[in-house]
Amino acid sequence: MQTFTESKGTPSVAGFFDPRTSSVQYVVSDMATRRCAIIDPVHDFEEKSGATATHNADALLRYVEQHELEVEWILDTHPHADHLSAAQYLKARTGAPTAIGIYVQKVQELWSELYHWPDFPADGSQWDRLFAEGDTFRVGDLEGRVLFSPGHTMASITYWIGDAAFVHDTLFQPDSGTARADFPGGNARKLWQSIQEILTLPDDTRLFTGHDYMPDGREPEWESTVREQKATNKHVAEGQTEEAFITLRNERDAQLPMPKLILQSLQVNIMGGRLPEPEDNGRRYLKIPLDALPGAVWDD
């Protein structure tokens, strides 16, 4: 496990909550240089009608315009299973490069087999940059670092930019605990290990999650600190053991139905957020494999 020293700089962080998917998207800015990165943007999809829209992504663009920012990066933490990524839509409008962790290749291999795409290039070439563990990048004058954070998926990474870390589906708010680890390629032990590494960041590091499910009906929240997580997270607070966490996580995951958009989302998101190409009638189609997730809990 790495030992982390303080990361310099305090980015401005604007969170945008999507109530349809309980997702949080971020614009992370160095206000001194007016440069920013967009993290985990949502491309709207209404599953009952098959309609797509860009309401969420357009809200991010309005924020960028209002604050006179230049987008330097469009970053995915992992291929999402509960919403479509708007990375390509935003790239087309800003010119900013897209990036994700290099282990997305493993997720592509797994899911392209489930979708029966034998000629699919599972090499991560759908993004402009593939980050490896320890890679650095810049947002204006702020340095960003990449932590490999597997467990929720094989490809999950954390972006640590200044005093802010974007952990998405690894830790949730302390009253919600942690993310599930039962998707294909997920692993509760690796999730625990990833969380322990995140919790070695300086105590004042701000942690930003990718979802909030608003327990007990509270308003959505997405920011905490390493100190708060270590003291109060219901799944991993100090005193919790690795084996007890694995048991808790596996027992809880065994009761959870799959996200309602998992089969729709992954075929778009392993393509870097590209919607399927139109067929000869001009219409796009999603491909839903039947019985691809054996043992999944039925949603009553």
Q: What is the pLDDT of residue 246?
A: 98
Structure tokens at 279: 């067929």
The answer to whether the beta carbons of residues 253 and 181 sit under 8 Å apart is: yes
Q: How far apart are CA 61 and CA 67, in angstroms?
A: 10
Domains of the chain (ranges, CATH numbers): 12-269 (3.60.15.10)
Burial of 185 by CB count in 10 Å (0-12 exposed, 13-18 middle, 19+ buried)? Answer: buried
Q: Looking at residue 178, what is its pLDDT?
A: 97
Of 63, 53, 56, 158, residue with least CA distance to 101:
158
Q: What is the pTM of this model?
A: 0.95
Displacement of CA 232 from its chain's centroid (Å) = 23
Phi, psi of 137 (to 5 degrees): -155, 175
> How does pLDDT run across 218-235, given as a tens digit for each residue?
999 999 999 999 999 999
**pLDDT digit string (tens) for 43-85?**
999 999 999 999 999 999 999 999 999 999 999 999 999 999 9
Q: Residue 300: its pLDDT value, please?
A: 74
Tracing tokens 């995140």 back to the chain, one arrives at 198
Q: Write down the pLDDT at residue 5.
A: 53
CA angle centred on 228, ends 191 and 251, rounded to 5°: 35
Between the alpha carbon of residue 39 and those of residues 6, 154, 250, 287, the distances in Å are 22, 19, 29, 27
**Given CA atoms 23, 174, 169, 41 in this order, what sign does their dihedral have?**
positive
Mean pLDDT value of segment 96-105? 98
Least confident segment among 3-7, 26-30, 179-183: 3-7
**Nearest-angstrom CA–CA distance, 1 and 250:** 24
Q: Which of 48, 45, 114 is nearest to 270 (CA)?
A: 114
- The residues pairing with 25 across neighbouring beta strands, listed in sequence order, are 16
Residue 99 has φ and ψ, to the nearest 5°, of: -150, 155
Look at the block and give the residue holding tokens 């589906």.
169
Please provide the size of the chain in residues.
Answer: 300
pLDDT in tens, 74-88: 999 999 999 999 999
136-175: pLDDT as tens digits: 999 999 999 999 999 999 999 999 999 999 999 999 999 9
